[in-house]
């Protein structure tokens, strides 16, 4: 009888809070102590909600199998919430109270069963807190949180297909679990502030609660600024970020570039340098989203049906001018974004987090460079009305930014001024056309191509005629043999140095386009089956090395979020260049030379054409030595 009275008394104490200010119900003293400890480190608003509730927290056997660690990748339910009840797995609870405080039970997630128990309680308490609210104000439906988690506007689809640097892949199960998983790390992990700074600020501001006072000196804001020709590591020092621009590439001729291309330009300068000088001479880092592809040419079918990964490419301005201005004859317009300091920091933090832990699926029409770029802008500006907006193309982004006064478009009204001050980079077509016209006007008789056509009527016959090459576009479309003939006749006419100097960039452009055509031909005829076994292995190794260099997929696979300097076993060199990237570059040079020899043998005729095309520019240079 006494024992029954004691149990009744204990239950009444738990219900009415005789041992605690929190009025939840449980039958375990130890579990109650654990919950009390957790509630004390949680925001006051959550404490108040739970203290006024009739929440029940109980131990239960939630699994048929024995307790395993999160690293085992076996299904295991540590906790469960429904209605007014939270169930905690009994095996997890018993293991957590048996371990010593300094022990480390496993190498992933929270590392110990004791901390896993705390995380489970926080996780389920968060669900209880959030799901009691109206749907419209739940955190799981908050547009800022959804954008920071790479969810679409309705929160039903997640764009991130790269989970290697996630602290817990369960966060991508759905938006509800994303909110709960990140909240548990916000409370328990002091490094969360540095790894996911925008998410940390979101929870901090929402709850008016700041659980971490650590500094973020170990955060690695170094990125590989890479194209296929070179590699460089650049540090995105926030104190040196003077401006961030929306970099718009005008329409191209290919179907996937007819709406322009969306990029950003980060302008880095010492704070002592004035803005005008910084725009003209500062360090420019260009970032944008592209369909990751090891081939020369994008496949339209694959682009429509999402067969490419969408990855963040960081490059230098010179490479972008080479690609868009010279290779594709497209203008680049650089519009300063009207960021305040907070918005600029949000942009940088989200960009670097994307760099370390994001890869999407690239669709030309539904998840392209515009969609990815606009989501980055939404996070940076963080305006509620902006999260409600959809965009269809890079051109639409520019139109929207101008309409909302989110960019300074006045600096591009005078194109001459904009060009001089690093805000407008014109297509190479105009100066190239001018050079070509100068030569053509003096020697029109050499710039013609023989064509044939059939006359009509019963006595149809083939007629030969000559068509003048009046524009540079027509010259660039000539075959290698036709260009040879034109240049041979021109040089025999003993033209002036100015004529030859004007013709040189035209021919260099023609060679560049001819090179692309030859490489595309080789690509179409190349398959793994064509190569022997050793060559195929080399080819696969080249692809792997390119991914390391372009996207640093071999660096910092431990930890989550923005890389911290103690995340990886790979040591940084004195100038902070990841050693693995440098090793990959050196190895790639060796393998490329090997593959070049292999492909030269396989496609000897085409490589001969490539050398012949290259020799035409050398012929002009040689003629310059004796020109008047």
Q: What's the pLDDT band for 574 if we cut at 50, 70, 90?
A: very low
Residue 58 phi/psi, 5° resolution? -130, 155
pLDDT at 456 over 80: no
**187 Cβ neighbours under 8 A, 6+ residues apart:** 41, 42, 122, 211
Residue 332 phi/psi, 5° resolution? -120, 125
Q: Which two tokens stand for residue 484?
A: 């040879």
pLDDT at 511: 87
Name the most confidently modeled range: 21-35, 115-129, 279-293, 451-465: 115-129
pLDDT at 194 over 60: yes
What's the chain's average pLDDT? 81
CA–CA dist 88, 372 (Å, integer): 39
| Strand 85-89 to 56-60 pairing | parallel
pLDDT at 403: 96
pLDDT at 525 over 80: no
Nearest Cα neighbor of 499 from 573, 438, 411 is: 438
Question: pLDDT digits over 110-159, tens only?
Answer: 999 999 999 999 999 999 999 999 999 999 999 999 999 999 888 888 88
**Hey, which bits of 356-493 come out as E strands?**
360-362, 424-425, 448-454, 462-468
pLDDT at 309: 43
CA–CA dist 273, 294 (Å, integer): 40
pLDDT at 288: 85
Q: Would you tell me how many other CB atoms lie within 10 Å of the CB of residue 307?
A: 14
pLDDT at 66: 93
Residue 278 phi/psi, 5° resolution? -65, -40
Cα–Cα distance list, 286 to 223, 278, 332, 348, 428 (Å): 11, 15, 12, 13, 19
CA–CA dist 315, 293 (Å, integer): 16
User: Residues of the chain with pLDDT > 90: what percent?
Assistant: 47
**126 Cβ neighbours under 8 A, 6+ residues apart:** 46, 179, 180, 183, 184
pLDDT at 554: 46
Question: pLDDT digits over 403-435, tens only?
Answer: 999 999 999 999 999 999 999 999 999 999 999
Residue 145 phi/psi, 5° resolution? -65, -40
Q: What's the pLDDT band for 209 if we cut at 50, 70, 90?
A: very high
Please tell me which residue, 209 or 310, carries the higher pLDDT value. 209
Average pLDDT over residues 371-376: 90
Q: Which two tokens stand for residue 372?
A: 């990815």
Strand partners, 580: none
User: Residues of the chain with pLDDT > 70: what percent?
Assistant: 76
pLDDT at 392 over 80: no
pTM here is 0.79
Average pLDDT over residues 173-182: 96
Q: Would you tell me how many other CB atoms lie within 10 Å of the CB of residue 211?
A: 18
pLDDT at 489 over 60: yes
Question: pLDDT digits over 297-339, tens only?
Answer: 333 323 223 333 446 778 899 889 988 898 888 999 999 999 9
Please tell me which residue, 480 or 145, carries the higher pLDDT value. 145
Total length of the chain: 628
pLDDT at 387: 93
Q: What's the pLDDT band for 576 if we cut at 50, 70, 90?
A: very low
Question: pLDDT digits over 549-565, tens only?
Answer: 544 544 445 688 888 87
CA–CA dist 360, 159 (Å, integer): 5
Please tell me which residue, 1 or 267, carries the higher pLDDT value. 267
Q: Which two tokens stand for residue 62?
A: 């939630």
């Amino acid at each position: 009888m006494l024992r029954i009275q004691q149990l009744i008394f204990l239950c009444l104490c738990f219900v009415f809070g005789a041992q605690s200010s929190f009025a939840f119900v449980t039958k375990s003293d130890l579990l109650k102590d654990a919950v009390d400890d957790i509630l004390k480190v949680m925001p006051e608003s959550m404490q108040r909600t739970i203290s006024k509730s009739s929440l029940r927290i109980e131990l239960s056997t939630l699994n048929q199998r024995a307790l395993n660690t999160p690293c085992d990748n076996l299904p295991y339910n540590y906790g469960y919430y429904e209605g007014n009840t939270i169930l905690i797995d009994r095996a997890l609870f018993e293991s957590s109270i048996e371990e010593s405080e300094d022990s480390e039970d496993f190498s992933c997630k929270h590392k110990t069963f004791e901390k896993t128990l705390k995380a489970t309680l926080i996780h389920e308490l968060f669900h209880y807190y959030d799901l009691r609210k109206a749907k419209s104000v739940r955190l799981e439906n908050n547009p800022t949180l959804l954008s920071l988690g790479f969810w679409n506007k309705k929160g039903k689809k997640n764009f991130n297909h790269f989970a290697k640097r996630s602290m817990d892949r369960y966060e991508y199960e759905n938006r509800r679990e994303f909110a709960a998983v990140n909240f548990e790390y916000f409370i328990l992990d002091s490094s969360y502030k540095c790894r996911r700074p925008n998410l940390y600020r979101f929870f901090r501001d929402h709850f008016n609660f700041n659980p971490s006072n650590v500094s973020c000196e170990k955060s690695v804001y170094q990125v590989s600024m890479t194209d296929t020709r070179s590699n460089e590591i650049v540090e995105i020092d926030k104190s040196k970020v003077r401006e961030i621009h929306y970099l718009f590439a005008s329409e191209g001729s290919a179907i996937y570039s007819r709406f322009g291309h969306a990029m950003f330009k980060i302008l880095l300068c010492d704070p002592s340098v004035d803005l005008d000088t910084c725009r003209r001479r500062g360090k420019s880092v260009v970032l944008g989203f592209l369909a990751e592809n090891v081939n020369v040419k994008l496949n339209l079918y694959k682009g429509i049906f999402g067969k490419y990964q969408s990855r963040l490419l960081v490059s230098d301005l010179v490479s972008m001018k080479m690609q868009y201005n010279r290779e594709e004859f497209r203008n680049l317009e650089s519009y300063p974004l009207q960021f305040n300091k907070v918005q600029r920091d949000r942009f940088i933090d989200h960009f670097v987090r994307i760099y370390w832990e994001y890869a999407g699926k690239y669709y030309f029409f539904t998840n392209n460079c515009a969609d990815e770029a606009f989501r980055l802008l939404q996070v940076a500006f963080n305006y509620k009305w902006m999260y409600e907006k959809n965009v269809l193309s890079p051109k639409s982004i520019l139109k929207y930014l101008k309409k909302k006064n989110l960019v300074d478009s006045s600096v591009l009204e005078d194109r001459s001024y904009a060009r001089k001050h690093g805000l407008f980079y014109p297509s190479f077509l105009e100066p190239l056309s001018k050079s070509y016209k100068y030569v053509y006007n003096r020697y029109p008789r050499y710039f013609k191509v023989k064509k044939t056509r059939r006359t009509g009527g019963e006595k149809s016959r083939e007629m030969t005629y000559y068509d003048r090459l009046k524009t540079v576009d027509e010259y660039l479309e000539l075959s290698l043999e036709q260009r040879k003939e034109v240049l041979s006749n021109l040089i025999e006419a003993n033209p002036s140095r100015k004529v030859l100097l004007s013709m040189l960039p035209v021919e260099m452009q023609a060679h560049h386009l001819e090179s692309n055509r030859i490489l595309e031909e080789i690509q179409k005829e190349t398959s793994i089956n064509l190569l022997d076994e050793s060559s195929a292995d080399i080819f696969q190794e080249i692809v792997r090395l390119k991914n390391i260099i372009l996207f640093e997929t071999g660096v910092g696979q431990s930890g989550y979020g923005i890389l911290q300097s103690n995340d990886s076993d790979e040591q940084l060199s004195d100038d902070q260049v990841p050693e693995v990237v440098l090793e990959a570059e050196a190895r790639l040079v060796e393998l490329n030379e090997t593959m070049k020899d292999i492909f030269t043998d396989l496609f000897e005729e085409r490589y001969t054409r490539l050398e012949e095309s290259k020799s035409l520019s050398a012929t002009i240079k040689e003629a310059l030595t004796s020109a008047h």
